[in-house]
Structure 1
Amino acid sequence: MSVKAKKHLGQHFLKDENIAKKIADTLSLKGYDDVLEIGPGMGVLTKYLLEKSITTHVIEIDTESVEYLKTNYLNLAPRIYEQDFLNYDLNTVFRGKSFAIIGNFPYNISSQIVFKTLEMRDQIPEFSGMFQKEVAQRICSKEGNKVYGILSVLTQAFYNADYLFTVPPSVFNPPPKVDSGVLLLTRKDNYTLPCDEKLFFRVVKTSFQQRRKTLRNSLKTFNLSDNLKANAIFGQRPEQLSVSQFIELTTLIEKDEN
């Protein structure tokens, strides 16, 4: 029995064992005892995780894949969750414990997977996975780069992001139309921000909604004082600011509002 890839779920099954093993080996396995694989499909990556000194859990929305895994990975069966990762409360499984995330992520929800990880950053010290190449590059890119954006800044505020390697379409069934990229996120030692975190998210998202404008124009909805808008930082465009400058910008706005 094999599982048929479903277009509406964005499934592209990895068929290259070497790449599967290479992805499994990206995790350091330090600081946690559990790993959650998202979208395991037929378990090509799962089997290499099961060889490691860690407890593997998998979450899969596709009923056919779940049946396949339960039949072929009997020991894993109690830790197979037939759920939608984006809408599932992971603490029903992990109950506040730390865990890593790994996976060959469906392209259509990969950014949302990252955003949910950021929400749970207290529990996720490490995150490794395969994305559409340009999304992986965007997450890891630095200021001054045209692909640098919301995903880059918000992720790198809390994690060190490393682009590891590129994967060609030919190693998937069916092959996607684009290259894939594997990245590793390692949570920073200090992952709390020295500013209001909700405001930081809002400032970053609002700035990039009009990325070609200067911050003076893109942040008009914040009703900033003329005195603050005279600061040189407001003459820059969002893609020119590093993560630490966005933190500095948020602190300035915070003080201006009070």
Structure 2
Amino acid sequence: MYALKRFGQHWLSDATILERIAAAAHLGAADRVLEIGPGLGSLTAHLLEHSSVIAVEIDERAVAHLRHRFAAEPRFTLIEGDILGLPLPPEATAVVANIPYNISGPILARLTGTPSAPVRQFRTIVLLVQLELAERITARSGNRTYGALSVRLQYLAECELLFGIPRTAFRPPPKVDSAVIRLTPRPFALQATDPAYLEALVTRAFATRRKMLRNCLKGWVESTRLLLALESLQIRPDARAEDLSVENFVRLSNLLVALP
């Protein structure tokens, strides 16, 4: 079966890499794993060695192939459809998947939620994604790839870049290198008193990332109030968004909400 560009399909068949991906989730017999876009079922076969699998596949050709390949496997459940238009299977306890790169953002949002509406269904989420995206998700403050996505996801989960995968490992090879990330959803150590305000603050702060924070937030937060909050948190008045850690953003958000 040839890969279709519209579904972002790139087949990975290296058994060593596939087993490393499956092993990264630390699955047990009691787990029910959600796999998004199983395609030919190469990763599925490795996941079934550890736990039950609920696979969601949009490509009708792949659906027919998977039904035939795993017809005798009672721990395999197949759902045909678009993961972005279907409810998440409530029985799933973990996610392991090679997701389409062209819809990685919306899939991540479905699996993790937002600071004001976090998804706490999964104990672990292991995904094969574009290397550039993996670096953005796991970047720390001061790094050029650190941005609003980094803050949002690190507020919602522990984020780890586990290992890289070269483009030559896929058929057909994508135009970019890839990496495997692991997200462990959990409440952040310091909770935002108003998560929706935190989301808005982070979005505005990184909207023009080369500007100083006080200029990015001009017209949204009164200047004197912002400078007072920055001084209270011992953050330089000329700081940019990329200079603030996730904890800094939460503290700043909480202080701005509390100040009269």
For structure 1, the 5+ residue unaligned runs are: none
Choose which of 118, 123, 135 in structure 1 pairs with 2:112.
118
State the AA in 2 paired with 1:46. T
The 1:76–1:181 alpha-carbon spacing in structure 2 relative to 1, beyond 3 Å, is: farther
- TM-score norm. by structure 2 comes to 0.89
Task: Report if aligned partners of 1:216, 1:229 keep a CA contact under 8 Å in 2.
Answer: yes
- 2:53 is equivalent to residue 59 of structure 1: no
| Aligned residues of 2:12 and 2:42 also touching (Cα < 8 A) | yes
Between the two proteins, the alignment pairs up a number of residues equal to 250
| Equivalent position SS for 2:144 | coil
Seen in structure 2, the aligned counterparts of structure 1 residues 210 and 190 have a Cα distance that, compared at 3 Å, is closer
Cα distance in 2 for partners of 1:111, 1:132 equals 11
Equivalent position amino acid for 2:109 in 1? F
1:128-187 deviations in whole A, cap 9, x for unaligned?
011111111111111100001111111111211111111011111100111111111122
| Residue of 124, 148, 151 corresponding to 1:153 | 151
Q: Could you list the structure 1 runs, at least 4 aligned residues long, displaced by more than 6 angstroms after superposition.
A: none
Mapped partners of 2:9, 2:219: distance in 1: 40
Q: Measure, in 2, the Cα distance between the counterparts of 1:200 and 1:49.
A: 37
Q: Deviations over 1:50-73 (max 9, x none)?
A: 111x32101111111111101111
How many Å separate the matches in 1 of 2:211 and 2:197?
20
Q: Deviations over 1:217-250 (max 9, x none)?
A: 1112424252333434453111111010010111
Question: What residue is the counterpart of 1:104 in the other structure?
Answer: 98
SS in 1 for 2:106: helix
Residues 181-203 of structure 1, C-alpha deviation per residue, up to 9 Å, x if partnerless? 11111223657824211111111
**Equivalent residue for 1:241?**
244
Query: Do the aligned partners of residues 36 and 192 (structure 1) sit closer, same or farther apart at CA in structure 2, a change above 3 Å counting?
Result: farther
What CA distance in whole angstroms lies between the structure 2 residues aligned with 1:114 and 1:192?
Answer: 22
Give a deviation string over 1:63-115, Cα, whole Å, max 9, x none: 1111110111113697211121122111xx31xx5621111111111122112
SS of the aligned residue for 1:138 comes to helix
Match of 1:222 in 2: 220
Q: Given the superposition, is the C-alpha separation of residues 98 and 243 from structure 1 closer, same or farther in structure 2, using an over 3 Å criterion?
A: farther
Question: Match of 1:254, as an amino acid?
Answer: V
- CA distance in 2: counterparts of 1:192 and 1:29, whole angstroms: 29
Contact persistence 1:70–1:77 (CA under 8 A): no
Within the candidate set 193, 196, 208, 2:194 is matched to 196
Is the 2:70–2:76 Cα contact (8 Å) retained in structure 1? no
> Residue by residue, what CA displacement relative to the aligned partner does 1:21-78 show, whole Å, maximum 9, x if unpaired?
1101100237x732101111001100011111x3210111111111110111113697
8 A Cα contact 2:39 2:57, kept in partner: yes
Shift of 1:16: 1.1
- What is aligned with 1:253? 256
Q: Helix, strand or coil for the counterpart of 1:220? A: coil
Structure 2 CA distance for aligned equivalents of residues 68 and 36 of structure 1? 18
2: CA distance, partners of 1:78 / 1:35 = 10
Paired residue secondary structure (2:34): strand
1:182–1:78 distance in 2 versus 1, CA, 3 Å: closer
Could you tell which deviates more after superposition, 227-236 or 134-143? 227-236
The answer for the alignment partner of 1:170 in structure 2 is 168
Question: Could you tell me how far apart the structure 1 residues matched to 2:111 and 2:190 are?
Answer: 15
